[in-house]
Amino acid sequence: MSRRRVGFCLSDKKRRQINLVAFAELCASHSVEVVEVNLSQPLESQGPFAVIVHKLSDVIVKAEYDSQSQQLLDNFQGYVSTHPHTVLLDPLPAMSQLLDRFASYRIMSQLQNSLRDWRISSPPYLEISTSDLSVIQQDVESKGLSFPLICKTRVAHGSCSHDMSLIFSMAGLSEAHPPCVLQSFVNHGAVLHKVFVVGEDHFTVERPSLKNFPPGPYERKTIFFNSHEVSKPESCSHLTALDEEVSRLPPPSGEAMVALVRELRAELGMALFGVDVIVNINTHTLTIIDINIFPGYEGVPQFFSSLLSHIESVLDHQELKVPQATCPSAPSAPQADL
């Protein structure tokens, strides 16, 4: 059995998106064995694994309310804690924090301090846990949020996590249903810059995005939309078509993206993530609006080669660190709970 065995644990949607057979063939030519992990079977008998690449966000979110998903997660965590040399891409605690927009927006907000020289910021936002309208309105006022506001669910993954709304007035805040975040909307000319990170590499891809709106507040009905209607490569709707032509803004500089990705890698401790950046049409400030776990990497033809390169660097590091345990067979002392 190859010492360089890599397990893949993907959601059905992700499995349809990634041609794992083609990736396994590429890996085989580099003496890396790719194995699909069946989460509903004991991992011990499917292992050993030097690395496990996974997107368990579905399971983690469902485990909150579904015992079968909790069982799958326990099965996975049981294997991980008894195989400390198996490297996860990415670690479960790091992934879990990005499932919560309260946590990920705190990270984006803190990044402003270390990226100030690069004129990289993130919009003012509020964590909403109350349905008391007067409290929400006071907080919007006191925290200096500016209308329009974009309202997003606290949970950042799963079926309802992409349903959002644009709120234009204080009265419209009655449609902000907790737990959610309110984030100042930043006019950016309907162009989104998706930064896809794969280990030491990153790739920036332009995407359609929400159009500009006049600064508020003003009486206008709340607009409800799904983010997957506005920022996919083929997205084209009344929400993404500019009402008036604006001069195209220069894209974020390569150096600024290098600085952003370096800070995010250090902060998150992750290898597979995406960050959404827009350019403020008034200040030309680079504005971080979202961080994603293991995104789709659509528009990144180098994804497979970059992923393999990162996996090989992890395997080489393991072989340097623990030569005999690259592909651990004997479980070691259990690790602290995740």
Ligand X SMILES: O=P(O)(O)O[C@H]1[C@H](O)[C@H](O)[C@H](OP(=O)(O)O)[C@@H](OP(=O)(O)O)[C@@H]1O
209 binds ligand ATP (CB under 6 A): yes
Nearest alpha-carbon partner for 230 in 211, 214, 206, 212: 211
What tokens were used for 30? 């580099």
Least distance CB 295 / Mg ion (angstroms): 8
Span interacting with ligand ATP, options 31-39, 84-92, 285-293, 304-312, rule CB under 6 A: 285-293
- Interaction site with ligand X (CB under 6 A): 13-14, 17, 55, 57, 157, 161, 194, 232, 274, 292, 294-296, 298
121 binds ligand ATP (CB under 6 A): no
Which of residues 276, 310, 311, 325 is near ligand ATP by CB under 6 A? 276
Read off φ and ψ for residue 85, nearest 5 degrees: -85, -10
Q: Distance from CA of residue 143 to its chain's centroid?
A: 26
Which residues 6+ apart lie within 8 Å of 64 measured at CB?
Answer: none
The answer to the question of whether 186 is labelled as a binding residue is yes
Nearest alpha-carbon partner for 60 in 83, 35, 21, 88: 88
Nearest alpha-carbon partner for 291 in 191, 184, 197: 197
The answer to the question of whether 162 is labelled as a binding residue is yes
The entry of ligand X, Mg ion, ligand ATP, none that residue 209 binds, CB within 5 to 8 Å by partner kind: ligand ATP
Would you call 279 helix, strand, or coil by DSSP? strand
The answer to the question of whether 35 is labelled as a binding residue is no
222 binds ligand ATP (CB under 6 A): no
183 binds ligand ATP (CB under 6 A): yes
Work out whether strand 5-9 and strand 51-54 pair parallel, antiparallel, or are unpaired.
parallel
The DSSP output letter for 233 is T
Contact residues toward ligand ATP (CB under 6 A) are 123, 150, 152, 156, 162, 183, 185-186, 188, 192, 209-210, 227-228, 230-231, 276, 278, 289-290, 292
Q: Residues forming the annotated binding site?
A: 14, 55, 101, 152, 162, 183-194, 209, 276, 290, 292, 296
